[in-house]
Structure 1
């Protein structure tokens, strides 16, 4: 007989065996046995946040930057309910996350009979998780944790949820009965290959293409398929575009890459004779894969690769649909392509025209970025920030208009070094600080910075204390236009400046940072910004640079985005 160990200790041991280094969350009474299991364990650390949603965002961010599941825990009732805002973006964007919530005693729950903080957490999380389960006995902890990791990482990744009765966390069992196995024994670690006939059909289409285009989505990053994508692009000398969520899958200084949503990319996408869609569902920010942003199907041949097949043909019909893991399928496709065509030596002639269209558009943005106007133009801040930090620094972008501005002048050179919270399928704001904390924990050797709108920054501003407490040096740059800028832009353009609910007072985010133990900078003049950046990094502390920006500056793409989101709605003239 071995010694007796609690359910909390079993969970901790399983997570350690899975290679989990950090567990994010907010403590609660029901979690005591699990929290105690983390005590003085140098293999795993619990990171406490001020709000459960912020902790869930950190787990999400950790998964995005590492490719490994993030883990978040919360206590029963309000703790679990607070997680929802941080779990939903991970579900919408295919991010693997393990959510563990404490539940009231098994003899008091499902159905509840009047317990304080009672909540049906299984049904609460069901719409925003791939799978969830209730652990009602100590003997099932390992089995259901194995299932959770398998579900989170198989097919399209996503969050999964385990609801654990508090008596199970406290319950003890024989240590010798806890059998932990290597992950390879309970889940597949390699993704599925594509059907050979589909691979061959796609290769034939690409070999005949005169103007092939490869469109990379976030699935390329989830599958760690950036090298495979580059090899295929280079072999074909194909034009390449990305979804906004797929940025960084190929360096944005790559010769044939065109930036998402700009005139060059849109022209290329509409004129290509064969398009390969890799890991993208072609949602609204990809203009649904429909004309005029894309060519008319079937005149424009379409190949679509998806890990489950759920998104193949969702918004655009296809000539060849391939179900499989991108890392495997892109390699298969390149090998098949070699049977039908030698490597191409030159890019299509049309590429020069597309590049010129892009450059002419960006020149307008660059001109604005050198403005000495006061309040400061957001593009000046974006350009100087990108110039200041090294190419491999990790950038977190948080906010509506902020995200749009960064597309213009914030280039991405290394995979998994940009995370834009408002540009994915959820469009969720407020996760910037949490993402920055997670990124720095995962990569302490890299510089990490967050460019955030003031509205988004205010969601979880207290997490500056979390970063300070952890001794992390992250730089937060707040584009402070004293408003919900994107919504105010809509009221400016469509409602005659009848502003309702969009204006803030003059908030000194820099002083908040100082009060929380960090470094603060207040910038009102363009000439002072780069010096403020330098002082912030040199401080060695978590820092907040509060930059007063021009609230009248509206991104040129705003009306396009409004037209997408409000399609079919009659806007006021």
Structure 2
């Protein structure tokens, strides 16, 4: 079912977030987002966590997401504040964290004075695009109030759909304050992060056969192992195969580094082959988005 909501642009945004089950908002407040904070003061259902720097705010939201599994929502101050949190957003992009950054937008087409806004002809959202999910998830709402609920809904779905990642949404500061707006919203959307479904039985059987026939299988475990709470299963697999386990650039402890089968970072060095006498013939990646580091010669995974 859908319902019609009315109020300022800030109220439309807050109601959309509330409908999606968002409980906490993280911010270093600014004047362009006054419409959002005014709506929060009237609603009072959502909790506002305030930090003294956007980098800290983004890190808190990312940590909240990693512990709770819920979307971390950040209210940033126009383009200046958005760029202040860029470093942490880059970390969130690499980690695949489901974050939503909402910022007021002071973009102007009639004057050259920039202040904290983009130069005329440039958009705030586009400037943030390279550090969002897949370097493409940045959206802008400039004039249409109905787009506030639609863009927010789309951003939440984008952030929580695997492969997950941060999404950026800029909304006109004037629109956030404008009164008497109307838009539709889906009731109790409750956007939850759904992990990918299980592999087909035939695929699992083929992988098991390849691993069983390998003379020296190598296992590489990535961050999706931790996200799936499957680190214990990773250890069991390594022990069953008596296979060396490696890691690539990772955020989470996917495989215990003190385990006897843990052999460090991949790619496998010549030193590993010299010391162990083993030459890997099958590389099995579990929960790995990509192998980090240089590779001396082409190889097939």
TM-score class, shorter-chain normalisation, is 0.7 to 0.9
Partner of 1:46: 48
Partner of 1:68: 70
The answer to whether the 8 Å contact 1:70/1:96 transfers is yes
- Aligned residue pairs total 286
Question: How much has 1:103 moved relative to structure 2?
Answer: 0.7
Question: How far, CA to CA, are the matches of 1:269 and 1:259 in structure 2?
Answer: 16
* 1:158 lines up with 2:165 in the alignment: yes
Partner of 1:317: 300
**Which one has more relative contact order, counting CA pairs under 8 Å at least 6 apart?**
2
Partner of 2:248: 243
Distance 1:19-1:56 versus aligned 2 partners, 3 A rule: same
Partner of 1:118: 117
Question: How much has 1:26 moved relative to structure 2?
Answer: 1.3
Question: How much has 1:161 moved relative to structure 2?
Answer: 0.7
Partner of 2:292: 283
Question: How much has 1:257 moved relative to structure 2?
Answer: 3.1
Distance 1:3-1:53 versus aligned 2 partners, 3 A rule: closer
The equivalences for 1:63-142 within 5 A come to 63-104=65-106, 109=108, 111=109, 113-114=111-112, 116-119=115-118, 120-130=123-133, 131-135=137-141, 136-142=143-149
Distance 1:208-1:61 versus aligned 2 partners, 3 A rule: same
Question: How much has 1:234 moved relative to structure 2?
Answer: 4.7
Distance 1:283-1:37 versus aligned 2 partners, 3 A rule: same
Deviations 1:164-190 (A, max 9, x none): 011221234578944333236xx8724
**Structure 1 unaligned spans of 5+:** 292-296, 298-315, 319-573
Question: How far, CA to CA, are the matches of 1:51 and 1:163 in structure 2?
Answer: 19
Distance 1:269-1:51 versus aligned 2 partners, 3 A rule: farther
The equivalences for 1:168-187 within 5 A come to 168-173=175-180, 177-183=184-190
Distance 1:156-1:2 versus aligned 2 partners, 3 A rule: closer
The answer to whether the 8 Å contact 1:241/1:265 transfers is no
Partner of 1:59: 61
Question: With structure 1 as the length reference, what TM-score do the two structures score?
Answer: 0.44
The equivalences for 1:11-410 within 5 A come to 11-39=13-41, 43-104=45-106, 109=108, 111=109, 113-114=111-112, 116-119=115-118, 120-130=123-133, 131-135=137-141, 136-173=143-180, 177-183=184-190, 189-194=194-199, 198-245=203-250, 247-260=252-265, 266-267=272-273, 271-278=279-286, 279-284=288-293, 287-288=294-295, 290=296, 316-318=299-301
Question: How much has 1:81 moved relative to structure 2?
Answer: 2.9
The answer to whether the 8 Å contact 1:138/1:171 transfers is no
**Structure 2 unaligned spans of 5+:** none
Deviations 1:196-252 (A, max 9, x none): 654443221112124333111223234444355345345434332223515522334
The answer to whether the 8 Å contact 1:214/1:277 transfers is yes
Q: Secondary structure at the match of 1:158?
A: coil
Question: How far, CA to CA, are the matches of 1:128 and 1:84 in structure 2?
Answer: 7
When structure 1 is superposed on structure 2, of 32-41 and 21-30 the one drifting more is 32-41
Distance 1:272-1:28 versus aligned 2 partners, 3 A rule: same
The answer to whether the 8 Å contact 2:145/2:182 transfers is no
Question: How far, CA to CA, are the matches of 1:141 and 1:265 in structure 2?
Answer: 56
Deviations 1:71-93 (A, max 9, x none): 21212242233232322222234
Q: What's the C-alpha RMSD, in Å, of the aligned pairs?
A: 3.5
Deviations 1:305-335 (A, max 9, x none): xxxxxxxxxxx422xxxxxxxxxxxxxxxxx
Deviations 1:130-168 (A, max 9, x none): 311112322122221121122222232221110101122
Distance 1:269-1:282 versus aligned 2 partners, 3 A rule: farther
The equivalences for 1:457-476 within 5 A come to none
